[in-house]
Amino acid sequence: MTVRRKSAPVVPEADLVPEDEVQELEAEASGWLPEDFSKVLRGIVNGTLAPIEPELLAIEGAEFLLYAGRVNGIHGHSNAGKSWTALIACAQELKAGNRVVYIDYEDTTQGILERLVHNYKVPPKVIRNRFTYISPTGRFAPAVVGDLIERLSPSLVVFDSTGESLAMEGFKPNDDDDIVEWFQLAPRYVSRLGPAVLLLDHSPKNTEGDSLWPIGSQRKRSAITGVQYLQKVVTPFSKKQSGRARLVCAKDRLGNFAEGETVAELKVDVVAGRSSRFNLVAPMPRELADEIAYKARLVKICKVLAEADKPMSKTALRMAAGGDSTKAGAAIDWLVDSGYIEQSPGARGGLLHTLIRMYEDSSEDSE
């Protein structure tokens, strides 16, 4: 039996779309048509279009740090206070009458709300009306999130944090293609809807906190369309202990901050040993900040020795103190020379260290 193949229907020549129109339709569908930028250019030339500058996360009495409609990031080691800084931005926007969406892969509703109420003094009514909290239990849903953004028109959307979101999507943090796909799927998608996006991320584990870029693929550099900051502890802090963290610019696509520039500090002030205030302030002079960090290192080394049940070698003491090993070694030498630590002979010609008396920093800035 001969099987006859059906021939394609003949389309009348009058109904055919011209080739140039087909190409234009395909270009439009793929997003590759050249933009008509005449209005933007006219605004720049005439001065009617304001320059692109940060508009969110204000430093007390100074400038702003985050860009609206762009992807911004803060990264650092654990306990650097990244979420505390993000919540300062949330509190500022809520108190200004704007809405905020917080997409949280790490904390709980209670953990976030307690901080907004107790540490940032955001009125409960404002939180109920303007704050939206999402604790994802599945993969990112663009249609759901997009509808939410369209309805609420938030000024800020926080992703806390990048690593956990990547894991939920099944993406690898070191895979360039996965990073590109995730940024297009989630933060870039949300930023194109208007709000400032703030990503919280982690520093590489084997660094002293000085890495200007977060852990994982280097594609994260190009994916940031606003500004990226490293948040680094100057003096450790908690709800019961005063301290500071430094925000250092890793990248500012718009060029308002220089790479390596300290732009602000998270300042934690404990009141009556119970409550604490978290404020973003202008950075103190580098010399003073270094002095405070040095004194904090001296205190920590003494505490390590005080808690040790036997004398320690210099190497073991440096490791236990943490941070920059070279700076820790210099601090140990100073404590020995100043009579805070005693050295005694150890095995194989080494020296062991024993605490004689605690170093106490009485300056107010070291709190």
**Span 329-363, pLDDT tens digits:** 999 999 999 999 999 988 888 899 999 999 986 55
DSSP assignments along 203-231, one per residue: --TTS-S--SS-SS-THHHHH-SSEEEEE
Give the CATH number, domain containing residue 130. 3.40.50.300
| Same-domain check for residues 93 and 239 | yes
How many residues would you count in the chain?
367
Whether residue 209 is predicted with pLDDT greater than 50 in this model: the reply is no
| Same-domain check for residues 168 and 65 | yes
Q: Is residue 10 part of a domain?
A: no
Q: Is residue 3 part of a domain?
A: no
Is residue 231 within 8 A of residue 75, CB to CB? The reply is: yes
Taking alpha carbons only, the member of 244, 350, 363 closest to residue 299 is 363
Is residue 354 within 8 A of residue 281, CB to CB? The reply is: no
| Same-domain check for residues 70 and 196 | yes
Taking alpha carbons only, the member of 324, 360, 320, 366 closest to residue 340 is 360
* Residue finishing a domain among 236, 259, 283: 283
| Same-domain check for residues 306 and 160 | no
Confidence of residue 15 (pLDDT cuts 50, 70, 90): low
| Same-domain check for residues 39 and 188 | no
Q: Is residue 41 part of a domain?
A: yes
Residue range 42-55: mean pLDDT, rounded: 93
What distance lies between CA 23 and its chain's CA centroid? 43
Residue range 213-241: mean pLDDT, rounded: 91
| Same-domain check for residues 114 and 261 | yes
Q: Is residue 259 part of a domain?
A: yes
Which pLDDT belongs to residue 365? 39
Determine the Cα–Cα distance for residues 100 and 91; give it in Å rounded to an integer.
Answer: 9
| Same-domain check for residues 169 and 78 | yes
List C-alpha distances in Å: 327 to 295, 298, 331, 339.
11, 10, 6, 19
Which pLDDT belongs to residue 122? 97
Give the CATH number, domain containing residue 361. 1.10.10.10
What digits encode the pLDDT tens for the residues 76-105?
A: 998 899 999 999 999 999 999 999 999 999
DSSP 19: H
* Span of 74-83, 92-101, 261-270, 315-324 with lowest mean pLDDT: 315-324
Which pLDDT belongs to residue 188? 97
Which pLDDT belongs to residue 241? 85
Whether residue 121 is predicted with pLDDT greater than 60 in this model: the reply is yes
Per the structure, the count of domains in the chain is 3
Residue range 197-225: mean pLDDT, rounded: 85
Q: Tokens for 59, please give them.
A: 């430093």
Q: Is residue 347 part of a domain?
A: yes
Whether residue 22 is predicted with pLDDT greater than 70 in this model: the reply is no
| Same-domain check for residues 166 and 274 | yes
Determine the Cα–Cα distance for residues 163 and 173; give it in Å rounded to an integer.
Answer: 7
Q: Is residue 330 part of a domain?
A: yes
Question: Mapping DSSP to helix (H, G, I), strand (E, B) and coil, where does residue 18 land?
Answer: coil
Please tell me which residue, 117 or 290, carries the higher pLDDT value.
Answer: 117
* Residue finishing a domain among 283, 306, 340: 283
* Span of 3-12, 81-90, 180-189, 276-285 with lowest mean pLDDT: 3-12
H-type alpha helices, the chain: 19-30, 38-46, 82-95, 109-114, 124-130, 142-152, 162-169, 176-185, 187-191, 219-223, 286-307, 314-321, 325-337
Q: Is residue 208 part of a domain?
A: yes
Confidence of residue 25 (pLDDT cuts 50, 70, 90): low
| Same-domain check for residues 247 and 338 | no
Which pLDDT belongs to residue 68? 97
Q: Tokens for 319, please give them.
A: 């490791």
Q: Is residue 276 part of a domain?
A: yes
| Same-domain check for residues 76 and 203 | yes
Residue range 127-153: mean pLDDT, rounded: 97
* Residue finishing a domain among 31, 48, 65: 48
Is residue 196 within 8 A of residue 55, CB to CB? The reply is: yes
Q: Residue 40 sits in which domain range?
A: 15-48
Residue range 264-273: mean pLDDT, rounded: 86
* Beta-bridge partners for 276: 270
Whether residue 29 is predicted with pLDDT greater than 60 in this model: the reply is yes
Residue range 301-328: mean pLDDT, rounded: 89
| Same-domain check for residues 157 and 272 | yes
| Same-domain check for residues 337 and 193 | no
Q: Tokens for 55, please give them.
A: 């508009």
Whether residue 251 is predicted with pLDDT greater than 50 in this model: the reply is yes
Determine the Cα–Cα distance for residues 164 and 105; give it in Å rounded to an integer.
Answer: 6
